[in-house]
Structure formats: structure tokens, C-alpha cells
Amino acid sequence: MNKGAVIYIIRLLTERLIGAALFWVGAGSFDLRSGIFFAAYILAAFVSGIIIYRKNPETLKERGKVNTDSPKWDKILLLVFWLFAFFAVYFAAGKTVPPGKEINFDYIAGMVIYFVSVVITVKAMLENTFLESTARLQTDRNQTVIQTGPYSVVRHPTYSAVLLWCAAVRCVFPSAEVLLLALAIAVVIIFRTELEDDMLKKGLPGYEEYSKKVKYRLIPFVW
């Protein structure tokens, strides 16, 4: 058993359970819409964790590391992302989304988009053994450029998945406060992509050539 990988899966599940609890604190209860979402949200973490563990437990172990030699900008952006995406947005959803709303087209679209983001994330983590939580040049792990799977379409597919999640959470929890937090999370991810991409071009052999081959960072045919 890879202890580090198991600890990371448990931590991820705990973070999602806390997010669900914060929604409950804000709302006072779960309705059908929120109940379905949080059940899928927690189950997706468990299933994807098991899938990745079976093929690539070392990636999960490395993702569990918090204190690394990543740049200061990464530590700041990662902290903001963690607080907003795992906790603040769900508390805001609980406080501001009226309970008992019907399951409509927007909700169904949000759930579909969410599952697409999960699939992209899992595929990227299965493909890229260097996909740590922090952004750094992994000279200690002999990092190489990954160009297969979703990395043949965009250079940062997990960040693309986060942008999809931002759209999904706004569809599932339709309030102005959730929209503002989702936009803030998207801005953090865009800044992080920009800075990480520049770092990799300067420090990771072969990445400059890869960026010419795969031109888009986050959104195919756009950016």
C-alpha cells in the first residue's frame, strides 16, 4: 500500500465533506438538487482516486505534498484557489441559493459539465506522472514534457477542467455570489496558467518546442 497516496485520497474526501458541511451550515439543509450534487462530488473523488491509485499511486503521493520548492506566487494563488474552490463557494451557495428549486436544464447542464471536468482531470492524472498540486520544476524527479492524451490538445488540461467546474458550479447553484466566486477562481487559474507556462518554457527542457506544437494553454482554438 502506498501510504502517501491513501492519505491524499482521504484528505481530498475530507475537504469535499467539509465543503458539503459548509453548504449545510449556510442553507440549513440539503434539497434534492444540492443532495445529488454533493453525492456526485464526493463519489467522484473516491472513484477517481481509486482509478488513479490502481495505475499511478506515486502521482497521488506527490500531489499530497504541500511544502515544496514552488515559487511564492504559486503558494499564494494555490491558497486562494483552495479556500475559494473547496470551501467559500459552497458556503455562499448554501446562503444564497433558495432551497427547493426544480431540477431544470441549467442544473442538468451543470452536472454534465461537472462530470466532463472530472473525466478530463482523471485522464490528465493518468497520463502525467509529474502532475503535482504545486507548480514547480521537478528536477528531483527528472521531469519530462508530457505530450499525449489531453496534453496533445491543451498544455494545461487540469486547469481547463477547473474552468469547466467553474461553469458547472454556477449552473448548479445559480446566485450572484456563486458567480462572483466562480469568476474569481477562474481568474486565479488563468494567472497561474500564465505564470506556470512561462516557468516551464524557461526551465523545462523541451517545453518551448512543445508549446509551439500544442499552441493552446487552456481552451482549444482560443487560448
Summarised one tens digit per residue, pLDDT across range 200-215 is: 999 999 999 999 999 9
Say how far apart CA 195 and CA 192 lie, in whole Å. Answer: 5
Residues with Cβ within 8 Å of 39's Cβ and at least 6 positions away in sequence, in order, are none
The number of CA neighbours under 13 Å toward the Cβ of 205 is 4
Indicate yes or no: pTM above 0.85.
Answer: yes
Question: For residue range 25-69, what is the model confidence (pLDDT) as tens digits?
Answer: 999 999 999 999 999 999 999 999 999 999 989 889 989 887 788
The number of CA neighbours under 13 Å toward the Cβ of 178 is 23
Q: What is the dihedral of CA 160, 86, 174, 182, to 10 degrees?
A: -50
